Amino acid sequence: MKTYFRYGRSIGSGPTLYIASHPDYRVAGVILHSPISSGLRVLKPTIKQSPSYDLFPNVEMISHTRCPVFLMHGTDDREVPIVHGRSLVQNCKNAFDPWWVEGAGHNDIDIRFRKIYFLRIAKFVKYLFEMFSKKTEEDLKTLHKVENWTINHMYFKKRGVKYILNWIRTVGIYFGV
């Protein structure tokens, strides 16, 4: 079984976290770029818990992700405020040194801060290689196992397996996940 990195930007963080938290996918690490904490929280930030009809309950999904997660978010992001990134880091069990990009907006981190952007990603990838080089073969086999994942998980309850997998294929391909 191959192991992959996943990169999710903005709304693409939804399919990325779904794959990273699902036991059938083996994910070595996740990079989240200006992610949303929840689809509905973008529209109504006061929501405390994602309702069943929220297609992107990232803030809940990230707690099921066992691989390291590197998150970057601009402090001046007007489309998806930085509070989204901070709430994801708070709920992440394996967060890697988040990068709060001072003065960056939603779509300019990789443009205005290009050199640092690539250096930060390289630092994360180096960390992953060092981490995996210390693991035994048995440890690597359990990489994809996720805690508390059952057929009663909120994704399955809401829409059903076939709907979600087709949705992820469509949205994930569109957003380059």
Q: Which sequence positions are flagged as catalytic?
A: 10, 77, 106
Q: What are phi and psi of 51, to 5 degrees?
A: -75, 170
In angstroms, rounded to a whole number, what is the distance separating the alpha carbons of residues 14 and 30?
12
Residue with token string 């999904």: 61
Q: Going along the chain, which residue ranges are E strands?
A: 4-9, 27-33, 69-74, 95-101
3-state secondary structure of 97: strand
Is the distance from CB of 175 to CB of 12 less than 8 angstroms? Answer: yes
Start-to-end CA distance of the chain, whole Å, equals 19
Is the distance from CB of 27 to CB of 172 less than 8 angstroms? Answer: no
